[in-house]
Chains A and B, each alone.
Chain A
Amino acid sequence: MTYDDTFDDKRKRVFIKHKICRFCADSSLKIDYKDSKNLAAFTTERGKIIPRRISGNCAKHQRLLALAIKRARNIALLPFTTAKIKTKEYREF
Chain B
Amino acid sequence: MNHYETIYIVNPTLDDDSLSEAITKFSDLIEKLKGSIVKVNEWGKRKLAYEVKRFDKGYYVVLDFCGLPKIVTELERNLKLDDRILKYLTVKIDENVDPKNLLSEEQKEDKIDESHNEQVEEKR
Q: Which of A28-57 contact B (CB under 8 A)?
A: 33-34, 36
| Whole-angstrom distance between the Cβ of A31 and the nearest chain B Cβ | 13
Which residues of B have CB within 8 Å of A75? 7, 9, 87-89
| Whole-angstrom distance between the Cβ of A71 and the nearest chain B Cβ | 7
Task: Assess the B7–A79 pair: CB atoms within 8 A.
Answer: no
**Interface: A65 (CB within 8 A):** no
Q: Which of B41-93 contact A (CB under 8 A)?
A: 48-50, 52, 58, 62, 87-89, 91
- Among candidates B49, B88, B89, B91, residue contacting A79 with C-beta atoms closer than 8 Å: B49
Bitwise, A41-84 to B at CB < 8 A (1) or not (0) is 00000000000000000000000000000010111111110000
What's the Cα separation between A79 and B47 when bound, in Å? 11
Task: Assess the A76–B7 pair: CB atoms within 8 A.
Answer: no
Task: Assess the B7–A80 pair: CB atoms within 8 A.
Answer: no
What's the Cα separation between A72 and B88 when bound, in Å? 11
Task: Assess the A76–B87 pair: CB atoms within 8 A.
Answer: yes
Q: Closest B-chain residue to A78, C-beta based?
A: B49
Q: Which of B88-114 contact A (CB under 8 A)?
A: 88-89, 91
What's the Cα separation between A73 and B88 when bound, in Å? 12
Task: Assess the B91–A33 pair: CB atoms within 8 A.
Answer: yes
What's the Cα separation between A53 and B92 when bound, in Å? 30
| Whole-angstrom distance between the Cβ of B39 and the nearest chain A Cβ | 13
CB within 8 Å for A76 and B91 given contacts A34-B7, A34-B62? no
| Whole-angstrom distance between the Cβ of B77 and the nearest chain A Cβ | 18
| Whole-angstrom distance between the Cβ of A92 and the nearest chain B Cβ | 19
Which residues of A have CB within 8 Å of B87? 74-76
Which residues of A have CB within 8 Å of B49? 36, 73, 76-80
10 CB < 8 A contacts A-B? A34-B7, A74-B87, A75-B9, A75-B87, A75-B88, A76-B48, A76-B49, A76-B50, A76-B58, A77-B49
Closest 6 CB pairs of A and B: A79-B49, A76-B48, A75-B89, A76-B49, A78-B49, A74-B89
